[in-house]
Amino acid sequence: MSASHGDSGAGEESRVAAWRTALMRIARAREVSLIVFIVIASTVFTLMTPHFLTMQNLLVVMSGLAMDAVIAVGMTICMVSGGIDLSVGSVFACSAIVLAKLISLGFPVWSAIILGMFVALLWGALTGALITRVGVNPLISSLGVMGMARGVVYVITSGRVISNLPKSFQNLGQGNLLGVPKLVWVALAAVIVGDFFTRRSRALRQVFYVGGNEKAASLSGISVDRVKMGVYMLIALLSGLAGIFETARFGSASSPMGTGKELTAISACVIGGASLSGGEGSVLGAFLGLILLGLVRDALILNDVSVYWQGLIEAAILVAAVAFDVLVRRRRGR
């Protein structure tokens, strides 16, 4: 901060300095390193196979990660609050199954969608209540809800798939809009809105304070319980929404759907800069993390790498990202 001397020369210098620090801060941002990584990785993959850099292939990759992106928006916010939610995959499935069952029983599509979302909200409220009222930690609370929601899925379906869903419903998740799959638009909307609001909305900024120092947040007049409740209901809602859209895309809902989505979401968030202890995270970063993971998986498939290697390699990327993060922070003397 330099005092202005009412002289245009000194003012000019401080303005240039301000621009430079702003630029340096942007350059150091996690999102930029991720974009660089993605560009480098894509270049390598393109050299490995000509099929990589085609519009068709890239759209397949994007469609595959679209609903993970919606979930990742919620997971980012959850991790920023200092928590975690392992139930996203089960809530994803439960909303989808409830919706599919209602439609197959003759309910109108829109009411089935609303009820499916409502079910997700209830699971979120349960997780939130376990954490704020009962005091169970988020890991165990969400683990429990993960099991219960999945259990409900099996009870409803008895293990069977629900398909033959009406075309009017499937239309929501299939087809393109301006050459891009509808679900990719949904994902982009979620990411853009999510990133904007986590940076600028007062309600979501409170989540950063809660995650940064819960005790100080409480003593600063922030309703910690209310914030946490909101967070867990939001992430559940987004998971349910994702499940419903995915059902529209495939025209069916199955019992094991969504399994493993929690790990993908958490990995993406951590790669994107979220800290497990809370207070930090970026929706855009998580989205870029998903893209990186998606491109790697895609390249492995195009190169005929056995599917068993995929899990190993994705987990290795996560470990590398976290290690890189820790080392960089230590060097900065944090």
Residues that bind other proteins (CB under 8 A): 1, 21, 25, 200-203, 205-206, 208-209, 212-213, 215-223, 279-280, 334
Q: Which residue number, 82 or 240, has a Cβ lying nearer to other proteins?
A: 82
Residues 56-87 as b or e (16 or more Cβ within 10 Å = b):
ebbeebbbebbbbbbbbbbbbbbbbbbbbbbb
Q: How far is the CB of 228 from other proteins (least distance, A)?
A: 15
Q: Which DSSP state fits 307?
A: H
Report which secondary-structure segment, H or E, holds 180: strand 180-181
Q: Which residue number, 240 or 273, has a Cβ lying nearer to other proteins?
A: 273
Q: Which residue number, 167 or 215, has a Cβ lying nearer to other proteins?
A: 215
Q: Which residue number, 89 or 281, has a Cβ lying nearer to other proteins?
A: 281
Are the C-beta atoms of 246 and 89 separated by less than 8 Å? Answer: no
191: three-class secondary structure by DSSP: helix
d(C-alpha 245, C-alpha 170), whole Å: 9
Q: How far is the CB of 45 from other proteins (least distance, A)?
A: 36
Q: Give Cβ neighbours of residue 154 (< 8 Å, ≥ 6 apart).
A: 255
d(C-alpha 140, C-alpha 107), whole Å: 35
Please report where in the chains the tokens 């195009």 appear, as a residue: 302
Q: How far is the CB of 279 from other proteins (least distance, A)?
A: 5
Q: How far is the CB of 193 from other proteins (least distance, A)?
A: 13
Q: With the C-alpha atoms ordered 42, 193, 86, 252, is the resulting torsion angle positive or negative?
A: negative
Q: How far is the CB of 127 from other proteins (least distance, A)?
A: 23
Are the C-beta atoms of 157 and 255 separated by less than 8 Å? Answer: yes
Q: Which DSSP state fits 259?
A: T
Token pair for residue 231?
Answer: 């967070």
Q: Which residue number, 95 or 275, has a Cβ lying nearer to other proteins?
A: 275
Are the C-beta atoms of 107 and 207 separated by less than 8 Å? Answer: no
Are the C-beta atoms of 303 and 49 separated by less than 8 Å? Answer: yes
Q: With the C-alpha atoms ordered 304, 65, 204, 226, is the resulting torsion angle positive or negative?
A: negative
181: three-class secondary structure by DSSP: strand
Q: How far is the CB of 80 from other proteins (least distance, A)?
A: 12
Q: Which residue number, 203 or 320, has a Cβ lying nearer to other proteins?
A: 203
Q: Which residue number, 30 or 182, has a Cβ lying nearer to other proteins?
A: 30
Q: Which residue number, 305 or 328, has a Cβ lying nearer to other proteins?
A: 328
Q: How far is the CB of 133 from other proteins (least distance, A)?
A: 15
Q: How far is the CB of 203 from other proteins (least distance, A)?
A: 7
